Each structure stands twice: as C-alpha cells, then as structure tokens.
Structure 1
Amino acid sequence: MKKKLSMIAAEGVMIAVTVLFFLPLMIMVFGAFKNSAEAAMFNFRLPSSWHFENFAFVLETGNVMRSFANSVILTGCSAGLGVLFASMAAYIIARRKTQGAERLYNYFLIGMVAPVQIITTYVLLDFLELKGTFPGLIMVYIGANLPFNILMFSSFIRNVPVELDEAAFLDGGSLGKVFFSVVLPLLKPIYATSFVIFAMSVWNDFQMPLYLLNTPKKWTLPLTVYNFYGQYYSSWNYVFADMIITALPIVIVYLAAQKYIVEGMTAGAVKG
C-alpha cells in the first residue's frame, strides 16, 4: 500500500512539473496567433481570431531566412565535424591501454567542467585571423562540446568487442579502414544521440555568436529574437511568433531522431 501511495505521489509530482513546464509554452504558442493587445495579457485563452499573418510579418521584417541559413551552416558543420572528431579520438582512447591514453581521457574530462573563457577565445581567434568568421566559431563549438562527446563515445566503444578490430587488422586493414568500415557502422545509435545533443546546444546558443560574430549579417536565429524584441518589445505577438520560428527546426530534428536517441541511450546504459 505504501509503495502504491509513493508511486501515486511521484506521478503527481511529475504531472505538476510537466504542467508548469508547458504553461509558458502555451502562452507563447497562443500568443503568436493573437493580436498585440491580447498577446500582452500573457494568458492561456485561445485567440479571439487567429492571426497567421504574424508569422509572415516576422519572416519579412526579421531577417529570419538569412539567420536560418547561418544557423544551419554553424549547427551542421559544428555538430557533424565535432561528432566525427569525438568518435575518432574516443576510439583511440578506448582501444589504447596506455598511460598516455588514460591521461588524455582525464584531460578531456577536465574540459567538461572548465568554462569557456570569452576573452582568451576572442584573442586566440584574432591571432589566428578567424575573428568574426564562421570557421572560427565552428572551432570554438567543437572544442567546447568535444569532452562530453568523447566521454559518450569512449564508453560505448569500450563495449564493442575488440576481436572485431583484430580480425580486420589480420585481414590487412589499416587503422582508418578498420575504424570507418568496422567500428563506425556499430556507432550509429550513439552518433544520432551525440549529433542531436550537439546540434541543440549550438542551435540554441546565444552567447558565442553575440561575442564572436562581428556583423548582423552573420547572426543566428537566437540573436534575431534578441534584435526583434528590441524593435517590437510592445508587440508580443510578433516576438512569440519569432520564438516559435526559431525553436521549430531543432524541435523537428529532435522528434525525427528521437527513436535513435532512445536507442543510443539505452544501448549505452545496458552495455555500461
């Protein structure tokens, strides 16, 4: 009986937390279809009339399409290259039973708790003549997210039978061929998991583009929300519409890859 009551209490807490999470989301979604006066009330009522033209106004005046292209370039390149580099480094760390590999693994673990220093990063990019460029920002994103992804990949690769590698090496395969032909196909679930997590962190980032991109033409979607709010702070219906446009692409990516994310997390948990 006590166990049943505790389960009911836990479910009640989870439902309450879920409702609290969705309340601001409902205000945003409903407000995006309201007029300016109704949206400024921040309530949960449905719009008296649905204003789909709010989204058209945002697309026309908010430089959304250019910023969308910038976000796609930064997110795709950062997540794609970052996950690939992380898997390659994790493969060496997981397979080499040496002190050097162990120290390298610990070094990357330190990177998970060490914050990114904006000033030193800015100075470094200036020295490399990459300040205000997409390649410079992509390098920063890869470096910042590499430790966590190496941790995920190395934990997964340690549970891949090493006999597969040995058999491929006996057949004359090189290190690169063994990794890309034998090991990499086994990493698809964790690749999807890492890619989506990586992409979400880059897509939603506001700080790095603000400090490291020197022109509005290179701004990403989160920065357009900041800029758009500055111009239309009294028109919350437009601000809400801009927020939905910004969040929708990454939500679609997450929902599309949700199956693989669950598989990757489950496989890692079971094998670990």
Structure 2
Amino acid sequence: MSFSRKLTIRNYIVEILLILASLLIIIPLLLMIFGSFMTSAEVSSFKIRLPENWQFSNYKKVFEEGGLMRAFWNGILITSLSAILNIVTSSAAAFVLARRESKLSSFLYLFFFMGLIAPMSTITTIRVVQWMGFYGSVSSVIFIYAALNTAFSMFLYSGFIKTIPKVLDEVAFLEGANLFRVFFRIITPLIIPVNATVAIMVFMSVWNDITIPIYFLTDSSTWTMPLSVYNFYGKFSRDWNLIFADLVLTSLPVLILYIFAQKYIVSGLTAGAVKG
C-alpha cells in the first residue's frame, strides 16, 4: 500500500472520529433546543424529536418570570468591565516584561505563567476580599475575573510584543516620548488583533461562569444569566421545557459572539502564540 493511500485512509479515520466526537455536543444541544419548544409532559421523555405544537410561550414565561433582562445587563456589565480591565493591565504588564530583559522580568513572566496551572483558592480569595471591604459587590467579581484571565492574556501579549521591533521604541524615546506615550501611541495600535482575541476569550469565560458569582455575589439582584438558570431551576425543577428555554436564552449571546468573532480568535491566538 502506497504512502499516499495510507495517508488518505488515516485522514478518513480522523474525520470519522471527529464526527462521532461532535455528536457528544450536537445531541444534547438538539435535545435542549427542541425541548424548549415542547410542553412539560412532552419534554419529559427526553427524546430528540420535533415538538408536536411549538410552544413559543415558553420563552415568554421564562423571560418574564426568570428576571433575564436584569441578569443580562448584569452579565454585560461584569463581562465588559472585566475584559477592559484585563486588556489594559495585561497588555501594559506584558509590554514592560517583554522589553526589559532582566532576571526579575523573567521571574515575573514565569510567575504570571504559573497562573495557567495553579488553581484559584476560593476560601482564601473570599477572606482577602472581605479584608478589602467589598465582598458581595459587583466590583469584587470584576477584579477577580480580570485577575483569573491575566495569565492567558499575558502569554498572548508577550509573544506578540516581542515580535515588534525595539527600534520603534528607541526612535520614540529619542523624540522625547515617555514610556506611557510609547505604549499608547505605538504599541497599542499594533496589538489590536490580540486585544480582540483577549476580549472575546474573557467575555466567553466570564459569561459562562457560575462559580465566582455564586460565591461572591450575595445579592440575587446582581446575579448573571447562568445564575438565573440556577435560580430558575429551583422554582421550576419539574418543567424541563422552561429550563431548556432558559438555557437557550443564556447561551445565545456567547454563541452569537463566537460565530461572528471566531476568525479574530484564530488570528489573535496565532499572532500571540506562533509569532512569539
């Protein structure tokens, strides 16, 4: 058997395995979407089939009784501010560490990189936030999310900034620019692809998370949409059609974002990882 034939067979096998693996996601997704339009009795069978009568009223009931509008704006506020704070701090720190070649910079880079491996200690973080005096507020969640995504952001920013010629900085310094002007006038316009990637990745990770808000947001009026599913399940635990409708509405924003922004994710990851 020729090498090209072996390669073709191997490619077919890989494609079949990928198709089978995709069913692990597609099957529960179809079950959730179709079930959200069924009646409570119809959905209890948990079978993938079209509804006999499409119950669009399920979404109306979920939207009105689940408090999704308030949870939606809470999620937008938290994810947006977390992404902005993460972009500003991570890019600035990566610029300094990438430009200063010293043992301290190397140590700090490894220190940030350890954030990709070391898990978050929830109890310790709660005590620190309580000591700082803003436990239970939206601000605490924003700062925690920005910090949790710093390691990944630093990795992307450092790899991309190292590919930017240092001569651009030197010319700017000779013309009288300080460090802040070099960063905001020269570096920031060049790292826009990475900014887009970091913003999208932070948005998706923050939007889908449920652990941080449930530990650090003590007031249910500040809960995000994933937590609204948790709260809604407590009220309608037997009505899986309503729960599925709530899940669809909760996952819809991040799904739309990923569909339209996936090219920016790929380009930013390539720019930050491969070039570095």
TM-score by length of 2: 0.95
SS at match of 1:257: helix
SS at match of 2:101: coil
Counterpart for residue 257 of structure 2 = 253
In 2 relative to 1, CA 137–268 (structure 1 residues): closer, same or farther, beyond 3 Å?
Answer: closer
Counterpart for residue 238 of structure 1 = 242
SS at match of 1:11: helix
SS at match of 1:194: helix
State the Cα deviation string for residues 19-59 of structure 1 (Å, max 9, x = none).
22110000001111111112222111111111111111001
What letter is aligned with 1:142?
Answer: A
Which residue among 175, 179, 197 is the counterpart of 1:175?
Answer: 179
Q: How many Å separate the matches in 1 of 2:139 and 2:132?
A: 11
Counterpart for residue 4 of structure 1 = 8
Show structure 1 runs of 5+ residues with no match: none
Root-mean-square deviation (CA, aligned residues, Å) is: 1.2
Pairwise mapping of residues 13-162 of structure 1 onto structure 2 (< 5 A)? 13-162=17-166
Q: How many Å separate the matches in 2 of 1:129 and 1:227?
A: 27
Show structure 2 runs of 5+ residues with no match: none
Counterpart for residue 195 of structure 2 = 191
What letter is aligned with 1:5?
Answer: I
SS at match of 2:133: coil
Which residue among 162, 165, 170 is the counterpart of 1:166?
Answer: 170
Q: Does 1:201 align with 2:205?
A: yes
Q: How many Å separate the matches in 2 of 1:85 and 1:76?
A: 14
SS at match of 2:149: helix
Whether the 8 Å contact between 2:156 and 2:273 is mirrored in structure 1 is no
Percent of pairs identical after alignment? Answer: 42
**How many positions carry a matched residue from both structures?**
272
Q: How many Å separate the matches in 1 of 2:147 and 2:267?
A: 26
State the Cα deviation string for residues 62-99 of structure 1 (Å, max 9, x = none).
01111111111111101111121111100001110111
Q: How many Å separate the matches in 2 of 1:107 and 1:36?
A: 52
Cα deviation, residue 269, structure 1: 4.8
